[in-house]
Structure 1
Amino acid sequence: MVRLKSLTGGFDRSFWSVCAGLFTNQIGAMVLTYLGYYLTQEQGLSVTAAGTVLTAAGIGGVVCQWVGGILVDRLGYRSVMAGSMSLTGFALLFLASSDQIGPIVVCTFLVGATAEMYRPAVAALVAHQFSPQDLPRAYSFVYWAVNVGYGCSMILGGVLVRHGYTSLFYVNSATCVAAGLLVWRSLPALGRSGAVPGEAPPKGGFLGILRDRLMLGYLMVTLCYGVVFRQAGTTLPLAMSLDGLSPSLFGFIMGVNAVVVVVFQPLSVPVVSRMDPHRVLMLGMVLLGTGFGLTSLASSALEYCATVIVWSLGEIAFSAVNQAIVAPLAPAHLRGRYYGLYGMVWATAMLAAPLLGTRLLEHGAALLWGVCAGLCAIAVCAQLLLSPHMRRREAV
């Protein structure tokens, strides 16, 4: 275990290698963002067909979390991280060379699956390396590295797309392979999660996790949060459009979210590390629900900016502790599966958010944002009930 002594001190070389790999992997992550434009403008697919392709990517993102969790417990952290990133690079090249709907759907599914498979490995590795007191700090920096990389990718993608969509595929592929090589060369081979040298891996699997009532309850809390949080990229631009605001203003407002996270996430680490993680989690959900609830009153760009700042602070609080809370719930030899199932819930929220949000928006923005606030309130109440039982398990 490593006891972190300061904001950035105490992190060993392997941790910074993971952060560097995540940043490199994300800095080129442009294809899925622009895939809808590519399919309709470059490949000439209908909007319906493009929607089918994008759904394949989402399904791949759900399945890969389950597969990735199993592989972490069997193969180890480094193999899954490096393999996921490198395979994504090759899948992108196959997608770029496909011009028929069948191969495009298959390749998009593979891209969606391989692009997200590293997440259970990263989460389980951090839980393995650091003490419970240091997990919020470590996960905050992981989240920060991903967000900075993704923000840079949006800028880079905007420049490259002017020269054609093909360049997006090649640059995205190159950064994925580079990230995989970086992780493989710099991260030590730590083996399976919870593995004991010379012993066979303990028995256990997803069925055992499904009997863990605390974990299931926490997954439901996360699902509520995830469905609300994902409205930012799905129904929020639609609601702004109904208020007569342009897509460029939506881009600016989401840029405000990125700036808030990039600037304030590192600054919040010392404060969050001293607080009870369950209270931080609930604070994050309260801020998220308040921010989206207040969106029902917004009609101008300035008012939307104000609401985004509120729920962005909630995002910072939640992301600092959400994975740290999973760590003491998971037996060491099942960390990969626990984090894989947790990732599946996030991916499911990504699929469910637009389905629920668009249907609510058809009946009015006030209903949509009211339901979002209500879901966060339900999640906070559920976490209040779960927290005492979770603390007792953490103390064992």
Structure 2
Amino acid sequence: MKKLITIYGDSYRGLSTEAWLLAVVMLINRTGSMVIPFLGMYMSSALHFTKPQVGMVLGCFGLGSVCGSWLGGWLTDRLGNYRVQAYSLILTVPIFLLLPNFKTFESLAGMIFLLTLIADTFRPANSVSVARYAKPENLTKAYSLNRMAVNLGFSIGPALAGFLATFSYDWIFYGNAIAALAAAIVFIIVFRNRAPRNKIGRLLKGARNKAEGDRNAYLDTPFIIFNVFCFLFSMAFFQLLSTLPLFYKEARMMSEGEIGILLGFSGFCIVVFEMLLVHAVEHRFTPRQVMIYGTGIAGVAYLMLNVPYGLPWLYISMFILSIGEMLTLPFTATISASRASLKTQGAYMGFNSLAFAAANIFSPYIGTYVAAHYGYEILWFGTAAVLLFASAGFAWILKKM
């Protein structure tokens, strides 16, 4: 036990105060992450949408995310990460409050697009903020801490949403609004007058001359190819947020409360193990090796869903999927930040966020279409195949980068 405590201490050593404060804001915001995993069930059960309609609305979620990620990166390089994060958090509050009033397919699709357009401007700005406040030698740890906060919130949010859904789905939207407002208040109080901590941050804030040799993120060929494989990875992996809850409900006959707890278990695993895992692998393996293994492990987790065992097997599959996530996602942010120059971090982080967001346009529709026409078994075989292909793709392009 003493050795384990020492390892935990080593995992968190060197992280700046600001990195911890950013994680607190993210925790509060993501504790309200109730809408996303239950949106498909809400449309299917409460609004009686067909599976293709559910997929198209979730596709609008992804389209808004793409536009928001690009816009967030563009605005961050011009307005600064603080303003973009503050306005994003504040403006999402009224949209969450209004969403329960939109019950037709067309109106809900439009509102979901608007919600994610505004909400996802936060992501590249937040990634830049982490880079500017973290010590350069602890950048991956800082991103992992931020992700740990995301997943701690995600472990609380779906479990709470499952409880609220037993009364009314409307309360899920109200809970998201309360969390976004609380996160906005804390963020503004803590970061309004706080200067960047490390040397890179000061240079970024103070530089007015155009840096020489800046690469354009959208013309950087190896980085473009890297983001294509990030897109494929997220196309498959984020079935977690669209078809997987439907699979639990329709194929495994689980209640909303049971689904919320199982989804929350994923966040709990990441909170407990991610920092330990990153600390264990970041100095023993290259980012290339870690991402190859992580993507392949996620593919194995989806294959396990085709084995018709009981509830414990589903928890084991979710645990393995969480390991794949822990080994892959922190290093995509590190690679993107390291590829950028001083003046282009917003563009690079925005482009990487866009790659993940773009997948959310196609992933829900393709997933629900395959499930409706060919069954969940074919869906999970296809998902695993895409992840294994992405693993091979990372092996190739990261060797060139």
TM-score (ref. length: structure 1)? 0.83
Which residue does 1:208 correspond to in 2? 216
Equivalent position SS for 1:195: helix
Equivalent residue for 1:271, pick from 269, 276, 280: 280
Please state if 1:157 is matched with 2:161: yes
Equivalent residue for 2:27, pick from 12, 15, 23: 23
Deviates more, 1:320-329 or 1:153-162: 153-162
Matching of residues 1-396 of structure 1 within 5 Å: 6-35=10-39, 46-47=49-50, 53-95=57-99, 104-131=108-135, 133-162=137-166, 164-187=168-191, 188-190=194-196, 195=204, 197=206, 199-200=208-209, 208-239=216-247, 244-247=252-255, 250-275=259-284, 276-361=286-371, 362-390=373-401
CA distance in 2, matches of 1:277, 1:228: 20
Cα deviation for residue 278 of structure 1 reads 1.7
TM-score (ref. length: structure 2)? 0.82
Structure 1: unaligned runs, 5 residues or longer: 391-396
AA aligned opposite 1:140: S
Cα deviation for residue 72 of structure 1 reads 0.8
Cα deviation for residue 136 of structure 1 reads 2.0
Do 2:16 and 2:133's aligned partners in 1 also have CA atoms closer than 8 Å? no
Cα deviation for residue 78 of structure 1 reads 1.2
What is the root-mean-square deviation in Å for CA atoms of aligned residues? 3.3
Equivalent position SS for 1:269: helix
Cα deviation for residue 159 of structure 1 reads 3.8
> Residues 222-273 of structure 1, C-alpha deviation per residue, up to 9 Å, x if partnerless?
1121112112233335555675543466555434433322221132232033
Cα deviation for residue 96 of structure 1 reads 5.1
CA distance in 2, matches of 1:100, 1:193: 49
Distance 1:35 1:385, change over 3 A: closer
Aligned length: 384
Cα deviation for residue 324 of structure 1 reads 0.7
CA distance in 2, matches of 1:384, 1:6: 29
Deviates more, 1:242-251 or 1:153-162: 242-251
CA distance in 1, matches of 2:168, 2:231: 37
Structure 2: unaligned runs, 5 residues or longer: 1-8
Equivalent position SS for 2:12: coil
> Residues 75-134 of structure 1, C-alpha deviation per residue, up to 9 Å, x if partnerless?
111111111111111322344566787765544332222222211012122233335542
Do 1:298 and 1:304's aligned partners in 2 also have CA atoms closer than 8 Å? no
Do 1:136 and 1:272's aligned partners in 2 also have CA atoms closer than 8 Å? no
> Residues 116-161 of structure 1, C-alpha deviation per residue, up to 9 Å, x if partnerless?
2211012122233335542221111111101111221223333444
Deviates more, 1:102-111 or 1:171-180: 102-111
Do 1:82 and 1:179's aligned partners in 2 also have CA atoms closer than 8 Å? no
Do 2:226 and 2:398's aligned partners in 1 also have CA atoms closer than 8 Å? no
Cα deviation for residue 287 of structure 1 reads 0.8
Distance 1:332 1:301, change over 3 A: same
Equivalent position SS for 1:333: coil
CA distance in 2, matches of 1:196, 1:302: 51
